[in-house]
């Protein structure tokens, strides 16, 4: 990893993120980085919980792991495609080498707006999250 959590400088609230990952330590690390960068973060432990959370409160961005129990990240991506005004989505996975598959590329083909391989470059993830949220909010205003 190229940065520590302490290198992320807070700024104005940048948007609401739904972070989905079944690994609590990883989820906590990424949530902390997003929070320190000025984002508000809600967490879900799997795709099923994420889809339920989306029904309760809208978000500006979804960041989801791909390999999880009870509805994986691919299912979240596919279900989001059916939403009329869906938030952008970033997929992430650490299973590509283990499974010998290009999981992030498959996520992009299914409709993810961006994809990252674990271990993450947190600075790049935060930058991409900000870009996607800004783009999404501009598109909503233009509609």
The residues spanned by each domain of the chain are: 5-142
Alpha-carbon gap, residue 92 to 21, rounded angstroms = 9
- Going by C-alpha positions, the residue among 134, 98, 99, 95 that lies closest to residue 115 is 95
Cβ atoms of residues 19 and 42 within 8 Å: yes
Q: Span 13-20, mean pLDDT?
A: 90
DSSP-assigned letter for residue 22: S
The dotted CATH code for 5-142 is 3.40.50.2300
pTM: 0.87
The predicted structure's pLDDT at residue 54:
92
Cβ atoms of residues 14 and 3 within 8 Å: no
The predicted structure's pLDDT at residue 101:
55
Output 119 or 60, whichever has higher pLDDT.
60
User: Which range, of 3-7, 17-21, 88-92, 110-114, averages the lowest pLDDT?
Assistant: 3-7
Q: Span 76-96, mean pLDDT?
A: 87
Alpha-carbon gap, residue 6 to 3, rounded angstroms = 8
Cβ atoms of residues 116 and 66 within 8 Å: no
Q: Span 77-93, mean pLDDT?
A: 91
pLDDT over threshold 90, residue 13: no
Output 110 or 28, whichever has higher pLDDT.
28
The predicted structure's pLDDT at residue 1:
38
Cβ atoms of residues 5 and 32 within 8 Å: yes
Report the half-sphere exposure of 102 (CA within 13 A, side-chain side).
5
């Amino acid at each position: 990893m190229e940065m520590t959590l302490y290198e992320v400088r807070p700024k104005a609230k940048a948007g609401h993120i739904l972070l989905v990952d079944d690994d609590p330590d990883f989820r906590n690390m990424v949530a902390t980085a997003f929070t320190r960068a000025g984002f508000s973060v809600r967490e879900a432990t799997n795709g099923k919980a994420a889809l339920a959370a989306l029904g309760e409160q809208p978000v500006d961005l979804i960041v989801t792991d791909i390999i999880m129990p009870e509805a994986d990240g691919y299912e979240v991506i596919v279900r989001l495609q059916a939403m009329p005004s869906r938030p952008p989505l970033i997929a992430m996975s650490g299973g590509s080498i283990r499974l010998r598959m290009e999981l992030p590329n498959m996520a992009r083909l299914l409709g993810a707006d961006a994809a990252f391989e674990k271990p993450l470059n947190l600075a790049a993830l935060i930058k991409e999250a900000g870009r996607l949220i800004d783009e999404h909010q501009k598109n909503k205003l233009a509609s």
